[in-house]
Amino acid sequence: MVEVKGYTNGDDCFLAWIEPKTAGCRGFEIRRDLTHSNGKTSSIVLDNYVGFAKDHPSVHEHRPSTAWPFQRYTWTDHGVDEGDTVAYTITPMMTTPAGGLAPNPVRAGQSGPLHVTSAASSQEWAYFNRGVVLSQFMTRRLPPNFTHADLLKLKNDLAHDDNDLRRFLTGQLGARLVKLLDHAKTHGWHVYAALYELDDDRLIDGLIALGQNAHVILSNGSNKKKPGDGNAAAATRLAGHVDLTRRMLWSAGLGHNKFLVVCKNATDPTAVWTGSTNWATTGLCTQMNNAILIRSVPIARTYLEQWHRLHDDELVAPDGKVTHFLPPLMASNDQPKAGGKGASGKWTAWFTRTSNRQDIAAATAVINGAQEAILFLMFEPGSNGLRQVVEARLTPGAPTFKASLYIHGVVNTLHPGGGKVDVTTVAHGDTKTIDLRVIEPQGVATNLAEWAKEVTRQDFILGQGGVIGHAIIHSKIIVVDPFSKPVVITGSHNFSSPASEANDENLLIIRDSPHLAERYAVNIMSTYQHYRWRAYLRDCMVNNKPPFSALRDDDTWQKKLPEHNPELAFWLQK
Cβ neighbours, 10 Å, residue 563: 14
Nearest partner of 140 among 253, 9, 49, 269, judged by Cα: 49
Give the per-residue pLDDT at 457: 59
Q: In whole angstroms, what is the distance from residue 398 CA to residue 393 CA?
A: 7
Angle between helices 386-394 and 358-368 (to 10 degrees): 20
Q: In whole angstroms, what is the distance from residue 83 CA to residue 332 CA?
A: 41
Q: In whole angstroms, what is the distance from residue 409 CA to residue 370 CA?
A: 15
Give the per-residue pLDDT at 157: 83
Q: In whole angstroms, what is the distance from residue 155 CA to residue 138 CA?
A: 12
Q: Three-state DSSP class for 517?
A: helix
**Do the beta carbons of residue 540 and residue 428 sit within 8 Å?**
no
User: What does the longest C-alpha to C-alpha distance in the chain come to?
Assistant: 91
Give the per-residue pLDDT at 419: 39
pLDDT in tens, the chain (574 residues): 999 999 999 999 999 999 999 999 999 999 999 999 899 999 999 999 899 999 998 877 999 999 999 999 999 999 999 999 999 999 999 999 999 999 999 999 999 899 999 999 999 999 999 987 756 667 777 888 888 888 888 888 888 777 888 998 999 999 999 999 999 999 999 999 999 999 999 999 999 999 999 999 999 999 999 999 999 999 999 999 999 999 999 999 999 999 999 999 999 999 999 999 999 999 999 899 999 999 999 999 999 999 999 999 999 999 989 999 999 999 999 999 998 665 556 999 999 999 999 999 999 999 999 999 999 999 888 889 998 999 888 888 999 999 888 888 888 874 444 433 322 222 223 223 334 445 556 655 555 545 556 566 566 566 666 677 767 889 999 999 999 999 999 999 999 999 999 999 999 999 999 999 999 999 999 988 887 777 776 677 777 777 777 899 999 999 766 666 888 889 999 8
The β-bridge partners of 504 are 255
Question: What's the predicted TM-score (pTM) here?
Answer: 0.91
Nearest partner of 478 among 548, 375, 393, 384, judged by Cα: 375
User: What is the set of domains in the chain, with CATH numbers?
Assistant: 3-117 (2.60.40.10), 120-533 (3.30.870.10)
**Do the beta carbons of residue 571 and residue 16 sit within 8 Å?**
yes
Residue 57 per-residue DSSP state:
P
